[in-house]
Amino acid sequence: MTRKQRRLTMIGGALVVLGIAVALVLNALRDSIVFFSTPQMVAEKHIPAGKRFRLGGLVEPGSLKRGDHMMVTFKIADGSNALSVAYKGILPDLFREGQGVVAEGSLDGAGVFKADTVLAKHDETYMPKDVADALKKQGHWKDDYEKAGKKPDTGAKPMQGASR
Amino acid sequence: MIAEAGHYALVLALALALIQSTVPMIGARLRDPVLMNVARSTALAQLLFVGLSFGALVLLHVLSDFSVANVYENSHSLKPLIYKITGVWGNHEGSMLLWVSILALFGGLVAMFGNNLPLSLRANALGVQGWVSTAFYLFILLTSNPFLRLANPPLEGRDLNPVLQDPGLAVHPPMLYLGYVGFSISFSFAIAALIEGRIDAAWARWVRPWTLMAWMFLTLGIAMGSYWAYYELGWGGWWFWDPVENASLMPWLAGTALLHSAVVMEKRNALKVWTVLLAILTFSLSLLGTFLVRSGVLTSVHAFATDPTRGVFILLILCVFIGGSLSLYAWRASSLKQGGLFAPISREGALVLNNLLLTTACATVFIGTLYPLGLEVLTGERISVGAPFFNLTFAPLFLPLLLALPFGPLLAWKRGDLIGAAQRLYAAGIVALVSVAVLWAWVRGGSAFAPLAIGLALFVILGALTDIAERSMLFRMPLSISLRRARGLPRASWGTMFAHVGVGVALIGIVCETTWNTELISTLKPGDVAKVAGYELKLDNISQRQGPNFGEMLAHFTVSEDGKVIGTMTPSKRSFTTRAMSTTEAALMSRGVSQLYISLGDTAASGAIAVRIYHKPMVLLIWFGPVLMAFGGLLSLSDRRLRVGAPKPAKAARGLQPAE
């Protein structure tokens, strides 16, 4: 086999593998990514029931109710809209009312967000970046969050999750 | 005083790095041995000063000097001594100082053990090392100075983030950095080779042990981080495809490819241009990892810093080094001479396939990690790319890699015999297929995926053993002769075997844990019994305890199997007053390589407590596999031919030594 033939074989093999990889990536990007929304975006966009997405905002104070068999319901709010969330399982250690939170799941027929994963931020003075950015865009950004967000010590494991 | 001394030592280290990055390279140009030898002394002096600086920071943390901002923000006088020390790298500034210290350590090692290197190669490589050091010293001094004083020193510190107060985290960052930064050596040598426009097998023999060492530490560091997440975060997950985890996985994948292509280059003097490119890419991915973790560009489970000026600075470093090295590569790679020929079916061919699949898998991880960032910058839309994406892309690329893995070592160099290799793998293949059938029958009705994956893992393990058996003529010679032959095999062969077996072992753990893991979430009152996977767990009572800097609630469980008590487990919840944070300390009980896992949730008003109980079959194999891989690396490293400093490029030395 000459050098040229060898090189052609190698390039051909590489192209085949790369082609397969590109196909896999495109396919996976179509099916498996999850979008992020705030309650306001949900209200505007009309997301179909059953489509998975991430919902972020602040846990509305006074909305947390614990039911039987570790069912919990609470509301996620972003200042203009609020959406009811139902979750079964153990909430993360730092889940608090009034704190930033990101839930992953889908809407049911009645418009309640059925979450199977809840992520809360560890530090008291910080909220998840998704939430902070979304609130900032809507103009509900408070200066003290801004300052708090710049503290260098927001901790190494900012997000903590619970998942069923 | 200590803080100022530490700061001053760091500035001196920067000055030395500046000298190291210029003088020796000018010397190499002018072929002046005196100037070239400056590299050695500056590298050693730089190590001394950065070591002093790091020591100063450790001392400040140990003495709890809260007049230093870094100590105030991350320490507490009541914190146990061990966490006072490990807290040094549990924060942004300290971990960057650790990063440069390790960089200087590697530079110092090259200076110390590089006496038999061609003088100009050493000068150039250490010069490149000097550039990297300079960039990161500037980064620390300008944006993340750990020695800043506070005008009004407080009496007490703010304590280290409680999830970091853990022995796992004491070891994880240094290991990871030894890996990340260790790849800087192969990078420096690659750049030096491009500058000189000359590269040979001796170069590969020099670079391989360093790559191997970095790869070993990175393997252990990743495994350690994964185990830490498993027991500390309290939900039993060991890999989240989190961007920060991917940041360490990418250099590992590229580094694994580099390790294999360096073998081809050393043995057959082929794939030179490719090896150099891989060396550049691997360290670039390490830099990218540093950028992702350090800049706060990602919100993820481990991102530390949130200050954008730092992000921009690291991005600049990233662009200069990656852009610069790739341009140099594009300009100079054609000057490197082509190496030996080989047929597609040969050991070289198998290693090329290995490289192709590893780098492609690495590219899919790269896309999955950076695509959300790119999309957000371009469209403002936020998405999260998680496990489903990687299961659909990374896994299909790894399957052929694992399937081909046992064939590689059995093929001959230059021109291999695929049918012969397949014949030698008959036994391994048959055992694997039989076990697939048996497992499938056993789990009846379950998905065929798990038995097939376990069969593949067994094929990898048995294939690796077949290679050693073949070489020692097991079953074809009397046993005593076989044993003697086995002892006489080079340690690198044994290293290959252990590393490949480790891959299979880890795969078995991963498949078993994800397929047959049992989870029970429930609320228990004292006296209640929970049943999981044939074990009975009785909650005896709940007690309180006061730790050094936290209060703790412990739940005492008695575990029994078939009515016989086999032990107790005490998961707990710690609340740290200084940061008003609580952490969940899971309780683990190992049964063979499987584990029972309990973590606690909230306590209800009625006194019942929410608990999460898992039975995780074979879970320990997930981390035992990487340990085997690293052990294989260590064996290979101890091989005489590879020992750091041992290579004697008699033939090449004549050509490369400067005229004296």
Mean pLDDT of B635-646: 68
Token pair for B438? 């048996």
- Cβ burial of B620 (10 Å; 0-12, 13-18, 19+) is buried
**What is the band of B140 on the pLDDT scale with cuts at 50, 70, 90?**
very high
Whether the predicted pLDDT of B507 surpasses 90: yes
Task: Give the neighbor-by-neighbor strand order of the sheet with B609-616.
Answer: B518-524, B609-616, B594-603, B587-591
| A13:B610 CB<8 A | no
- B519-577: per-residue pLDDT in tens? 888 889 899 999 998 899 999 999 999 988 888 999 999 999 988 999 999 999 988 87
Confirm if B145 and B53 have CB atoms less than 8 A apart.
no
Number of CB pairs, chain A paired with chain B, less than 8 A apart: 155
Q: Dig out the tokens for B575 from the structure.
A: 């609340």
Residue B570, H or E segment: none
∠ CA B356-B418-B439, nearest 5°, is 80
Task: Give the separation between CA B399 and CA A16, rounded to whole angstroms.
Answer: 16
Q: What gap in Å lies between CA A128 and CA A159, rounded to an integer?
A: 7
Contact: A31, B235; criterion CB under 8 Å: no
Residue B618, pLDDT score:
93
Angstrom distance (rounded) from CA B90 to CA B97: 11
Confidence of residue B443 (pLDDT cuts 50, 70, 90): confident
pLDDT per residue as tens, chain A (164 positions): 677 777 788 888 889 989 999 999 988 888 778 888 888 888 887 888 888 888 888 888 888 888 777 788 999 888 788 899 999 888 877 787 877 788 888 998 888 999 988 887 544 334 455 555 665 555 544 433 333 333 333 333 334 444 44
* Tokens of residue B249, six digits: 């996985």
Question: Which stretches of B31-64 are DSSP H helices?
Answer: 33-62
Residue A133 pLDDT: 60
Q: Tens of pLDDT along B627-639?
A: 999 999 999 988 7
pLDDT one-digit tens code per residue, B71-120:
998 888 888 899 999 989 888 899 999 999 999 999 999 999 888 888 99
CB B584 within 8 A of CB B550: no
Confidence of residue B6 (pLDDT cuts 50, 70, 90): very high
Type and span of the H or E element at B535: strand B535-546
Give yes or no for A32 touching B (CB within 8 A). yes
Any CB–CB contact under 8 A between A116 and chain B?
Answer: no
Chain A, nearest residue to B614 by Cα: A164
Residues 6 or more apart whose CB falls under 8 angstroms from that of B139 comprise B96, B310, B313, B314, B317
Question: Is the model more confident about A86 or about B448?
Answer: A86
CB atoms near residue A121 (< 10 Å): 27
Residue B296's pLDDT is 67
Q: Which residue of A has its CA nearest to B372?
A: A33
The amino acid occupying position B478 is P
Residues of chain B neighbouring A156 (CB-CB closer than 8 A): 90-91, 161, 163-164, 302, 304
Q: What integer is the mean pLDDT of B605-619? A: 88
Give the closest-approach CA distance of A12 to chain B in angstroms: 11
Query: Average pLDDT, stretch B238-246?
Result: 87
Q: In sequence order, what DSSP letters do the residues of B589-627 get, joined into one string?
A: EEETTEEEEEEEEEEPTTS-EEEEEEEETTTTHHHHHHH
Residues within 8 A of B (CB atoms), A 80-109 only: 89-91, 93-94, 104
pLDDT > 50? residue B646: no
Residue B652 has pLDDT above 60, yes or no: no
pLDDT grade for B445, boundaries at 50, 70 and 90: low
In this predicted structure, the answer to whether residue B200 has a pLDDT above a threshold of 60 is yes
**What does the radius of gyration of chain B's CA atoms come to, in whole angstroms?**
27
Say what percent of chain B tops pLDDT 70.
95
Tell me the two tokens of residue B37. 């030898």
Q: Both tokens of residue B525?
A: 């009152």
Q: Print burial letters for B521-552: b (CB count within 10 Å at least 16), e (below 16).
A: bbbbeeeeebebbebbbbbeebeeeeeebbeb
C-alpha–C-alpha distance, residues A104 and A87, integer Å: 10
Residue A99's pLDDT is 77
CB < 8 Å to A10, chain B? 344, 352
Q: How far apart are CA B555 and CA B543, in angstroms?
A: 6
pLDDT of residue B193: 92
